[in-house]
Structure 1
Amino acid sequence: MTKTKGRAEGACPLLHQCRLPLSTRTVSHLADVLRRRLKAIRSRWRILPPGRIAVILLAVLRHDQRLADMAGGNDVSKSTVRRRRDELITLLAAQAPRLDRALQKVAEQGEEVVLIDGTLVPIQRRTGKADRRN
């Protein structure tokens, strides 16, 4: 059995398009973040350029596009899109201020209410007899 990268004759890729209102500044910033990461890890190349990766990942993150849809329309695998998404989230999280510093800044400004959105909090539920309500 041979493996080929080409498509079968008569195969037509199914594309799913969405309108994605993005500023050039947003795409450029994410592409620059990805370029710096590639340079830091001394990666020679990726299948897609950083700008195109940024647009794909923004579609996944902002419009909750399925990974398989975005992968199929861009000739990459679903796992590649997942890895790039996780990598970008890690890179952007590294740029964000730490929670204690952000709260200190809010307190210095005299604010009383802080709304934190999108925070992932790892938890472990107890099971069996150790389980409690709430």
Structure 2
Amino acid sequence: MLSYPAAIPLSTRSLNHLAALIRTRRQQQRSRWRRLDPGRQALLALAHLRNGDTYTRLAAGFDIGVTTAWRYVHEAIDLLAATADDLATAMTRIRLLAYAILDGT
């Protein structure tokens, strides 16, 4: 039995926000059952995004298949991307700041 280390430097707010997006999506799709609940799926996706953990490691830690880990991460990324600002809005917000840090990853 493997356990996944939960020491990820993320806010509870980030985890709850993504879990709420996943929960809403599942209700819209009328998804009956999933291997992980929305909170655990959010943790899985954020662990991948924050730490760069491989799908194999995530799958082992969350006791799911590698394909399921990949699918859950990409579903969460799609949900986050849908809520992001478009480029014009982002540039307008950046112009109001004293400085901006851009990350191309």
Task: Give me the TM-score of the superposition, normalised by structure 1.
Answer: 0.67
Measured at CA, do residues 18 and 95 of structure 1 come closer, stay the same or move farther in structure 2, by a change above 3 Å? same
1:23 Cα shift? 2.1
Match of 1:25 in 2: 13
Distance verdict in 2 for CA 1:18–1:99, change over 3 Å: same
Percent identity between the two aligned chains: 40
- Whether 2:48 is the aligned partner of 1:60: answer yes
Aligned AA for 2:28?
A
Quote the offset at 1:105 in angstroms: 3.8
Structure number with the bigger relative contact order (C-alpha 8 A, sep ≥ 6) is 2
RMSD: 2.1
Q: 1:37, 1:31 → 2: CA distance?
A: 10
- Under a length normalisation based on structure 2, what TM-score does the superposition of the two structures give? 0.83
2:102 counterpart of 1:116: yes
**Alignment gaps of 5+ in structure 2:** none
Verify: 1:101 aligned to 2:74, yes or no: no
Q: Distance in 2 between matches of 1:77 and 1:97?
A: 33
For the 8 Å contact 2:4–2:62, the answer to whether it is kept is no
Higher Cα radius of gyration: 1
One-letter identity of the residue aligned with 1:64: G
Runs of 4+ deviating beyond 3 Å:
104-107, 111-116
Structure 1 residue identity aligned to 2:55: L
Q: CA deviation at 1:24?
A: 1.8
- 1:73-84 aligned within 5 A: 73-84=61-72
**How far apart are the structure 2 equivalents of 1:89 and 1:42?**
20
Gaps of 5+ in 1: 1-12, 120-134
Q: Quick one: structure 1 residues 36 and 15, their matched pair in 2 at CA, closer, same or farther if it must change by over 3 Å?
A: same
Specify whether residues 16 and 75 from structure 1 end up closer, same or farther in structure 2 by C-alpha distance, changes over 3 A only.
closer
